[in-house]
Amino acid sequence: MAKEQVKTDVEVNIGERFPLTIRRLGVNGHGIGYYKHKVCFVPGALPGEVVVAEVTRIHPRFLEATIHRIRKRSRHRVTPRDSYTNVAGGFELESLAYPQQLAFKRQVVLDSLAKFQPYGYRNYDVRRTIAAPEEYHYRNKAQFQVRMVDGHVAAGLYKPNSHNLVDMQECAVQMPRTMKAVRTVVQLIEDLQIPVYDEDHNSGIIKTIVVRESWTTGELQLTLITNTPKLIHKRPLLEAIAQQLPEVVSVMQNVNPGDTPLVWGEQMIHLAGKETITESLMGLDFELSARSFLQLNPEQTEVLYEQAAEALELAPEDTLIDAYAGIGTIGLSLASRVKAVRGMEVIPEAVADANANAKLNGIANAQYEVGKAEELIPRWLDEGLQFDALVVDPPRTGLDDELIKQILRVKPRKFAYVSCGMASLARNLRRLTSVYHVDYIQPIDMMPQTARCEAVVKLSLRH
């Protein structure tokens, strides 16, 4: 192997091997050890293990390495079900026993609090992580890139920090029927010789296969994300899908031309069947269009929403604002407990879905508008709306700065923060705790075998 040296305060080469004691797990689930006082990240290595690490990348402040072999094995190490563990993303913790995965996710919350130090953080009640009912087969959506690998059509996920595709024949965290649909469609694309996307030449047609399964109805929706609107051999492809995959009740095409980091494009084409599938949560039906956001673990989503309801302590006379509302799943599931729900979302299609879902379920006291919470809340207040309760479920980047200003100005009495990013949560709490007290933080495991964590925070006004 060719030696490569990067200017650093530690003399080390790519390919060099050394013993390394793993001290803890990092926020992304990678083992962390120290080589000559320099941090070294080793995917798949577990706390307490001694590994022979092989350096793969050198950075000014840290090293990356793989496990060459394990000298001392953790008693919490288990045999992963997926052969892709530490090869592709999405399986970071699959070698770690599940009780320790839950403990790790609580520790991520504690570490984030210690880093950003919001007011009073040492005394926060950070509860034990709520386990998922199923450790495998829970993901309701497969979103796999499609490329040619060794002369065959391949579909799967990229290796970390690369565009090298791992062809996934099976995947233990996916609902089984999503994988059956992916593999069937891959074979049809190959049999019909439909050109797949070539990044080097920006040519070919099919870029990505997306399959979503309804947990309650068993319906599948298939979306082909393509480089061009033209889809050759479309008719025989759709006929074969109808014959071989009768559970696919909706087939859509999304056009996303060119070399872009974005998975989805703006143009949607309805190819066959319905335009939506139906999912049920909290006793309500939700129509899901291809681009609708829904939590990947539907069974645990009900637990998440119930935790949000408990944190809010809603009363029949309350008016609830549902910020970052998506298709309305949280607000609509709580509508029967309050006088009114008002929600907002910046994606027009999601707002249309939210209002349609309200109508579908006969919910007359909930309405959703297109716009940012930090802009709509002041307008609603000017129009005379008074609200008692606020639930936010922002993206991983956390709350918008302007929304935080609005919250601190309006001071809603009941406030629940649903977070999928513990660092942004802790950072936001630094500002929110100038007015609010953190009653508790409840971590919830939505995605077993991964390093991802969700949490519900109950906040109350300081007296």
- List the Cα angle 437/443/447 in 5-degree steps: 150
* Total residue count of the chain as it appears in this document: 463
User: Cα(first)–Cα(last) distance of the chain, in Å?
Assistant: 65
Closest CA to 91 of 148, 170, 206, 6: 170
Plot region of 258 (φ>0 → left; ψ -120 to 50 → alpha; else → beta): left
Plot region of 86 (φ>0 → left; ψ -120 to 50 → alpha; else → beta): left
Quick one: tokens of 438?
A: 């953190």
Quick one: tokens of 164?
A: 């090298």
Q: How far apart, in whole angstroms, are the C-alpha atoms of residue 386 and residue 152?
A: 60
Q: How far apart, in whole angstroms, are the C-alpha atoms of residue 215 and residue 300?
A: 11
Q: What is the CA radius of gyration of the chain?
A: 24
Calculate the CA 302 to chain-centre distance. Answer: 16
Residue 40 is among the residues annotated as catalytic for this protein: no
Closest CA to 322 of 430, 417, 441: 417
HSE on the CB side for 27, CA within 13 Å? 12
Residue 82 in 3-state DSSP?
coil
Closest CA to 371 of 335, 307, 325, 417: 325
Closest CA to 264 of 217, 223, 207, 225: 225
Strands 50-58 and 220-226: what pairing?
A: unpaired
List strands edge to edge, sheet with 38-42: 17-21, 50-58, 62-72, 38-42, 31-35, 24-25
List strands edge to edge, sheet with 267-273: 165-167, 152-158, 141-149, 206-213, 220-226, 248-255, 267-273
Active site residues: 420
